[in-house]
Amino acid sequence: MIKLSNPSHNEEKDSTTGEFPSTNNQIRSISWWLQYFAGWYINISGWLNTFFFLVFEFNFCHMFDFTETIIHQSKIILIMKKNFMLTVFICLFIGCNAFSQTNLLNGPEGITFDITTKSYFVTNANNGRVIKIDSLQNHSIFYQGLSVPMGIELIGDSLFVASNDPSTISCIDINTGELLGDMTITESPSMAHMDYDPTTGYLYVIGQAGQVFKINTRTLSYNVFVNTGHGVVNGSQTCIVDTASHHLYVFSWPITFVRCVNLNDSSDVQNMVNPLTGQYIDCTKDPDGNIYVASWQGNKIQKFAPDCSVLPEVFATGFNKPAGLVYNPLENVIAVCNFGGNSLSFVSLSVTGINNPHNDASNPMEIELFPNPVKDILTINFKDHPTIDTHIIIFDGYGRQCKKIDIRKNKVVIDLTTMPQGRYVAEIRRGNKVWVKKIIKL
C-alpha cells in the first residue's frame, strides 16, 4: 500500500481544522485588515472634520477680515468634501470585498454529503482537489494532490476517492484530512464512480473498461468482482446498490441496457431496460428507492424506477454537463455537479413543501427519542397519536437510507443491532412536517 506524498502543493494545513488555507479564508483575512485600517481612518477623519469645523467657527467669530474668512471657509469645506468622498469609497470597497465569494470548483466530477456537518465534498477532476462546501456555501480546499479524481463516497469518518492516472482508490480521514491509505488498481486503465453497501461494508467501484471492483472498506483491500467481457459494458460510469434485492445497477456512457449484477453471484448479469439515452455519469437514490441518473445527452437528470424495469422519465433539465449526484435528506434535494459550469445545482424532490425540516431545537410533533447514543434498541415516543401518513426514515452518515418504518402507535421500538457503528439521522415525517434528530450508534 503506497502512501501519497502530495508533492503538488507547498501549503501547510491548519493545525486546528486540518484543512488547507482557502482563497475564501484569505479574502476574509484581507477584508478584516482593510476594515481595521478603515475604521481608524474613519475615526481620524471624523476628528479632523470636527477640528476644521471648530477652527472655522472660531475664525468666523473673531477674525475682522471678512474676505480672508470666506476664503478660509471655502478651503475647509473643500477638504471636508474630499475627506467624505474618500471615506465613502473605502466603505463601499470593503463592503464588496467582505461579501465576495470564491468558487473553487474546477471540473466538479463527484460529490458526497456529510449529514452531520451539513457539508458537501466535491472532487475536482481538473486540478486534483477535494473541495469542502459548508452549509453557508463557503468553499475550502479539503485535500489536494490527487490525479484526476472521479467518484467519492463518505463511509463513516472516511472519504473514499477513485482517481485515474494511475487508477487508485484513496481513503482520507474526514476529520483531519489525512491520507489513511490507498490502493493502485492495476486491472483497470481508468476508474469512474462508486456506491456503498452498508449491509456488508463493501464499496463497489466502476472501472471504465467494463469492470466492477469490490472494495473491503475495513481492510483497504479489493478484488475484481466483474471483469471485462463478463456482462458489464465497456464505458460503464456509475452504479447503485439495491440492498433489498442484493442487486447492483450499472449505467454506462454508450446507449445500451442498464445492467443488473447479482451481488450474491457476480456471474449473474442481466439486461434491464434500455433507456435509449447514453452519456450517463453518476446516480443517486431517494428514500423511496427511485434512481436519478445524470446524462450529458440533453444535459438532464432521468428518474428510474427502483428496479429499472421501465423506461425512465425526464426529471430535470437545463444543466451544464451534469456529473456527480447526491441526495441530501436534510433538505430533500439532489445536489448536481455541473462539470461544464464549475457549479452546483440543487433540485428539490418536494411537491408538498417538505423542504425545510425542523432541527433538533424544534419539536413540533412532541417526540421523545432515547437512548442516544444507542447500542441496540432505539425507542421513540409520540405525545399524540400518529396519523396514517407518519413514518420514520433512518439515514447513515452519508445520506443513504437504512430503514423506513410506518408509524401506527405512540411508541416505536427500532432494532439497530445489525447496523454498523457511526453517525445516523432519524427523519420523522408527518404530512408536510419533518422532524430531524441525529443519532450515534455505539
**Is the pLDDT at 415 greater than 70, yes or no?**
yes
Q: What is the pLDDT of residue 434?
A: 72
Q: What is the pLDDT of residue 85?
A: 57
* Fold assignment, 367-441: Immunoglobulin-like (2.60.40)
Q: Are 386 and 428 in contact (CB under 8 A)?
A: no
- pLDDT mean over 23-48: 47
Q: What is the pLDDT of residue 269?
A: 95
User: Do 367-441 and 108-348 have the same topology in CATH?
Assistant: no
Q: What is the pLDDT of residue 432?
A: 64
**Is the pLDDT at 419 greater than 90, yes or no?**
no
Q: What is the pLDDT of residue 275?
A: 93
- pLDDT mean over 178-195: 95
DSSP 8-state secondary structure symbol assigned to residue 3: P
Q: What is the pLDDT of residue 32?
A: 42
- pLDDT mean over 401-413: 83
**Banded model confidence at residue 30, pLDDT cuts 50, 70, 90:** very low
Q: What is the pLDDT of residue 83?
A: 55
- pLDDT mean over 234-261: 95
Q: How far is CA 373 from CA 362, 366, 376, 381, 386, in A?
A: 20, 20, 10, 16, 25
Give rounded-to-5 percent helix, strand, coil for the chain: 15, 40, 40
pLDDT, tens digit (0-9, with 9 covering 90-100), for 187-224: 999 999 999 998 899 999 999 999 999 999 999 999 99
Q: What is the pLDDT of residue 131?
A: 98
List the CATH code of the domain at 108-348: 2.120.10.30
Q: What is the pLDDT of residue 380?
A: 87
- pLDDT mean over 54-83: 50
Q: What is the pLDDT of residue 28?
A: 38
**Is the pLDDT at 244 greater than 90, yes or no?**
no
**Banded model confidence at residue 401, pLDDT cuts 50, 70, 90:** confident
What residue segments make up the domains of the chain, in order of their start? 23-98, 108-348, 367-441
- pLDDT mean over 364-379: 82
The answer to whether the Cα torsion of 378, 203, 232, 122 is positive or negative is positive
**Is the pLDDT at 383 greater than 70, yes or no?**
yes
Q: What is the pLDDT of residue 116?
A: 85
Q: Residue 224 burial by CB count (10 A; 0-12/13-18/19+): exposed, middle or buried?
A: middle
Q: What is the pLDDT of residue 391?
A: 82
0.85 exceeded by pTM: no
Q: What is the pLDDT of residue 143?
A: 98
**Banded model confidence at residue 349, pLDDT cuts 50, 70, 90:** confident
**Is the pLDDT at 334 greater than 90, yes or no?**
yes
Highest mean pLDDT among 318-327, 405-414, 424-433: 318-327
Measure the CA–CA gap between 338 and 350, rounded to whole angstroms: 21
Q: Quote the mean pLDDT of the chain.
A: 79
Where is average pLDDT lowest: 126-130, 139-143, 276-280, 292-296?
A: 276-280
